[in-house]
Amino acid sequence: HKGIGSFYPGQLKQQLKPSGLVISRCVVQGEDVRSSNITALRTNHGESLDLYFQAVGYVKPEKYRYAWRLQGEKEWKTLKEPRLLFPILVDDLVVEIRAANESGEWSENVLTLPVQVHIPFWLATWFKVLVVGFIIALVFLVFRLRLQQVRKTQELQTAYNKKIAEVEMSALRAQMNPH
């Protein structure tokens, strides 16, 4: 047969699994990220991230449920709406999101979104190591200077005591040998 086929999604009986997920909107620090296909994000330390997503499916998409987790975690956290908010980003992360139909069948396709967070230099590991090294060097320098100061004071005290001993000996000799 030749012609046009049509169907009514609301009348379909079989509940299909969502075939995938797409990010419908992405907001970083209150600003929309303009991109039709977001596969990775770069943000700055301390910024907020708000993700809106939706499942690709034809049968009652409003009944889909969503879950998310960070890559490496075992437990999925369920969501009441297709939105995920990270109020303060402090480190790199990879977000995984999945969808389930009304029957609870989870899609095989998991949306994975790596988020790279640029940290300021003062929070970088190399800077922290440098500061610790500087503090250790400063403590060592202060210790050496104080040690030198104590030694010099001891040398002066020893020289002073030696001079007093010489004067006392000279006075004692003068008493013993008056002429």
Q: Which helix (H) or strand (E) holds 62?
A: none
> Can you name the residues that pair with 44 across neighbouring β-strands?
118
Rounded distance between C-alpha atoms, residue 47 and residue 30, angstroms = 9
pLDDT at residue 74 in the model: 93
C-alpha span between 168 and 179 (Å, rounded): 18
pLDDT in tens, the chain (179 residues): 567 777 776 666 555 677 678 888 889 888 888 766 788 888 999 999 999 988 877 667 778 889 999 999 999 999 988 999 999 988 899 999 999 888 888 888 899 999 999 999 998 999 999 999 999 999 999 999 999 999 999 999 999 999 999 999 988 888 887 66
In this predicted structure, what is the pLDDT of residue 36? 67
pLDDT at 34: 75
pLDDT of residue 166: 92
pLDDT given at position 133 = 97
Number of H helices, E strands in the chain: 1, 9
- Measured CA to CA, the distance from residue 84 to residue 50 in angstroms comes to 6
Residue type, 24: S
pLDDT at 148: 96
pTM: 0.66
